Every structure is written in C-alpha cells, then in structure tokens.
Chains A and B, each alone.
Chain A
Amino acid sequence: MGAVTRPNEIYIERLNKSYSQQQTAGDLHYIIQDVDLVVKGGEFFVLLGPSGCGKSTLLSLIAGFVSKTSGHLRVGEKEVDRPGQDRAVVFPQADSSLFPWLTVRENVEFGLRMKRIPAARRKEISDRFIGMVGLKGHENKFPRELSGGMKQRVQLARVLSNDPGILLMDEPFGALDAMTRRTMQRELVKIWQETDKTVIFVTHDIQEALLLGGRIGIMSAGPSSRITDIYEVPLSYPRDLAAPEFHELYNRIQAHFDE
C-alpha cells in the first residue's frame, strides 16, 4: 500500500451478497460470500467459474447495479454505491442492451450525447472507436441489420467512447460462433493493450480465460461462492493455443472443476 491509488483499481474485501430478506445472521443465503480481490489498474482479470456461481452477481456489484449486503468494494478511492461512468459494462446479449432505434453511430455516441458533447467532437470520437472495433462503413446501419459478432463490436465501441477506466464484460462472446469468437478475443486483447483499461472478464470457458487473462480468478460453485484460487498466466500475447505451457495451465485449471 502507500502508493497513489489509480482510479481504475478495484479493492474488494470480505464482500457478501444475499438476496434474502431476513437479516438474522446465519439464516442468510449468500450468493457470494467473503470475496477478497484486488485488481490492479490496467490489468486483464478473468473471473472463471461454472454457470450460476455468482460471477455475474459479482460483476453487477462492481458495476453498482445491485448493492452489497456487507463488506468493502472500492473503485479507486471511492466506495461503490451506484453505477458510474468510470465502470462500463458489456452485456452478454447485445440485443437487450443496444438501442435498436438508433444507428450504429448513434448507439456509439449515446453516452456523449447524454453529456451534451458537441456533434463535431462526438463524430470524431465515434469515428475513432467504430474504426477500432472494425465497423467502419457500417455507421448508418441499425443493430437488426448486423450479425451477432458485429453487435458485440457496437457494444464495445459504445462503452469505449465514454472513456471508462474499467471494462466489465459479462460473457460477451458466449453467444457467438467459434470463428467469430476467436477473432473477437484477439481484437479485444489488442484494444486492451491500446487503451490501458482495467478489464474484468467473466466466462465459464477455460480456454477463453487462458487466451485473455493476465490473471484468472476461479470461483467456486454457488451458493456462497467465493474466489478460491488465482492463477497468474505468465504467457505473452498473442497466446499460442498449441504451447505446452498453455496445455499445462489448462489441465491444472480443469482439475479444479473435475472434483
């Protein structure tokens, strides 16, 4: 400690979340219990765990969509109690989160428009991020005219244009076909390296976790799930699926879920 806290660092200490009403101790059904985690600024952190283990709940807590039951959750110096522009969320389903009545460009400029940024500046920013996610030439299309992968690109460009310090991504490539998925994973790493964001990426796919993460946090099956282990991934980007180190790590992580 002691060093200046970067605004895109995340501190989580003994964090608990329960949806049950009765507050009598011992009777609470925790979704997640006693989660401790520090994510450094600019880090690519992957949350890996089986379905229904509370990964998304943890992400929603960090996003500020739901409130914690107890414990500490800080982003930078600030305790999280509501959504904020410093934490952008990429949702698993683009269809439920994009605005279908707006074109690609209008979707990407949404946050900027809410902040009343002048049109010329908006266009500059949206041009940059539409280009970065590879959607140049599709600016005037509506989401319904795009494929699943392209829609997730729109989501990504839309959050990036608000320049958040932290990207919270909830299985964003889960609904995509395998080929598109690989492309998106590669490009996400590239965008992360270009922009220096903190990324928390939720997935249940070990391979995806190893392709993307600098560190991988393993969540135990719910209820009362917690982060049981954290793996450092000492491999350089872009990651080589065929490398023996990749295999070795894969098997070690796989062993967690076989028990």
Chain B
Amino acid sequence: MSKKIKNGPLQVLFWIALIVIWQLVSLVYGPEILPGPIYTAKGGYELLMDGTLLQYIGISSYRVLLGWTLGSLVAVPIGIIIGKVGFIRIFAEPFLNFIRFIPPIAFITLFLVWFGIGETSKVMLIMYATFFIVILNTFTGVLSVEEDKIRSARSMGASEWQIVVHVIIPATVPYIFTGIRLAMGTSFMAIIGAEMIASNEGVGYLIWNSRLFFRTDWIFVGLICLGLMGFLTDRAVGLLGRRMLARYGVVSTTSLKR
C-alpha cells in the first residue's frame, strides 16, 4: 500500500519529464522532422474538431475487437481438441509452429483477393493474427494439466467428457487468458498494417496518409492514439480477467500491484 502512494507522484513526474525532453529535442530538429508535444497537440486538436480522429479510432477499435473476439472464440475449442487428442496434435503442432512465423501483414494481398477490399478482409486478418497465438497457448495449457488431477477425477467417476469440462478447461483458463491477451497486441499490429495498405479509414490510414501532406504531427497523433488504445484495452482485459476469473488463478500482471 505504502509503495503505491509513493509511486503515484513519481509516475506523473516521469511522464512530465518525458514530455519536456521531447519538447527540447524537437526544438533542435524543427517541427517537420520531429514535431514537439505542442505541435502534436495542435494537430490532434485539428483532427478532433473535424471528427476524423474519433471516427478513425472507432473504426480501428471495432475491427480489432470484432476480429479478436471471433478469432478467440474459434481458437479456444480448437486448442483444447489439439491438446486433448494426441493423434491430431502430431499433425497440428508442426503446422502451427510453421504458420505462426508468417506475420499477418504478409497475407494482406492474399486476403484482399480472397475476401474483398471491404471489412471482411480486415476482420479475417485480425482473426488470423489472434488465432494461432490463442491455439498455441490453449493447447500448451491443456498439456500442462497435472496428471494427478485427471486421475483423481477419473477415479471419482468422471466421464471423459466431464473431465474435459470440469477439469481440463478450468485448469487451462490462465493459459487461454494469457493467449488472448497476447493476441490483442498482434491484432493491433495487423490492423495498422492492413489499414496502411488497403483502407481509407482508421488510425493506420491516418498515419500512412499524413505523409502525403508531410504532416508529421498527425503521424505522432496516430502513434499516441495507438499506444493509448492498446494500453487501455489491455488494462480493461486484465481487469476483467482478474474480476471474473480470479478463482481459476488469473492474476493481475500490472507490475504496480506487486
């Protein structure tokens, strides 16, 4: 508790110092190369007033949340099946470890060809970005369920199906949760790439399009928005997990609480 009280002012001081340094460095290089905080704030205000900023944040968030939710919903059951069925795992594991090294952005052109230039291709791309991380984490979780738990359930009369529902899934919840939380990060990377290349809306589009007008301050606005969006969604997911899944052993991972 006492640590938390000391941390508060230090945190504020840290951010103020960061902004001051940013301002000082920007004075050296000039606003075209490195727009300072004041310049960036002005640019941000401009974008806020004409409505584009909120609209772009909204559209990017919507794409990420939709693709991430759908991807997770599909990935969790598949991960459990892969973890549970050794025969499937023999084939699935090398394939998963092959495909997870192909970043979503590499698929953009193909996804545009397959799913069109509309929202579908973007949401599918986020699903792809989410999918493999969640599957890998889920089946790792299934594999690390202690044999003693399964054995004791079995000798207490649980059927194989009951063991999956009442032992394996609850024991895997922390792994699933870590997986979907990590997937949020890759989803943001994927959506920015997709919006830069194939969209005329969204934060990625804003960052990419600003180069046409040499508005480096708008680029900074976009970057800061991304950081904030990621930070806030991660906190929200973390908080939700801690509130709803505490009994399954999902703990707070914010270092401040340690």
Of residues 129 through 185 on chain B, the ones whose CB sits less than 8 Å from some CB of chain A are: 146, 148-149, 151-159, 162, 166-167, 170-171, 173
Residues of B within 8 Å of A97, CB to CB, are: 146, 148-149, 151-152
Any A CB within 8 A of the CB of B247: yes
Residues of B within 8 Å of A89, CB to CB, are: 151-152, 155
Which 6 A-B pairs have CB atoms at the shortest separation, nearest pair first?
A: A111-B156, A97-B148, A96-B146, A83-B155, A96-B148, A85-B157
One of A64, A88, A142 near B156 (C-beta < 8 A) = A88
User: With A and B bound together, what is the CA distance between A65 and B155 in angstroms?
Assistant: 9
Q: Is the CB of A114 within 8 A of B148?
A: no
A residues adjacent to B (C-beta < 8 A): 63-65, 83-85, 87-89, 91, 93, 96-97, 99-102, 110-111, 113-115, 142, 158-159, 162
Least Cβ–Cβ distance between A144 and chain B, in angstroms: 8
Of B155, B167, B170, B248, which is in contact with the most chain A CB atoms at under 10 Å from its CB? B155
Least Cβ–Cβ distance between A90 and chain B, in angstroms: 9
Any A CB within 8 A of the CB of B249: yes
Number of CB contacts from chain A to chain B under 8 A: 64
Chain B, interface size category, equals 20 to 34
| B232-258 vs A, Cβ < 8 Å mask (1 yes, 0 no) | 000000000000000111000000000
Residues of A within 8 Å of B247, CB to CB, are: 101-102, 142
With A65-B151, A159-B156: A110-B146 Cβ-Cβ less than 8 Å: no
Give the residue name and chain of the A residue nearest to B158 (CB): A114
Least Cβ–Cβ distance between A10 and chain B, in angstroms: 15
User: With A and B bound together, what is the CA distance between A93 and B148 in angstroms?
Assistant: 9
One of B148, B166, B173 near A110 (C-beta < 8 A) = B166
Residues of B within 8 Å of A100, CB to CB, are: 249
Main secondary structure of the interface of B (DSSP, over half): helix
One of B149, B155, B167, B170 near A96 (C-beta < 8 A) = B149
User: With A and B bound together, what is the CA distance between A91 and B166 in angstroms?
Assistant: 19
Q: Is the CB of A158 within 8 A of B249?
A: no
Least Cβ–Cβ distance between B75 and chain A, in angstroms: 22
- Other contacts beyond A113-B166, A114-B162: 5, CB < 8 A: A63-B151, A88-B155, A88-B156, A89-B155, A102-B247
User: With A and B bound together, what is the CA distance between A41 and B99 in angstroms?
Assistant: 58
**Contacts A/B (CB < 8 Å), 14 sampled:** A63-B151, A65-B151, A85-B155, A85-B156, A85-B157, A89-B151, A96-B146, A96-B149, A97-B149, A97-B151, A101-B173, A110-B158, A114-B162, A162-B156
Residues of A within 8 Å of B167, CB to CB, are: 99
User: With A and B bound together, what is the CA distance between A242 and B167 in angstroms?
Assistant: 46
One of B157, B170, B249 near A162 (C-beta < 8 A) = B157
With A110-B166, A114-B166, A142-B247: A91-B155 Cβ-Cβ less than 8 Å: no
Give the residue name and chain of the A residue nearest to B146 (CB): A96
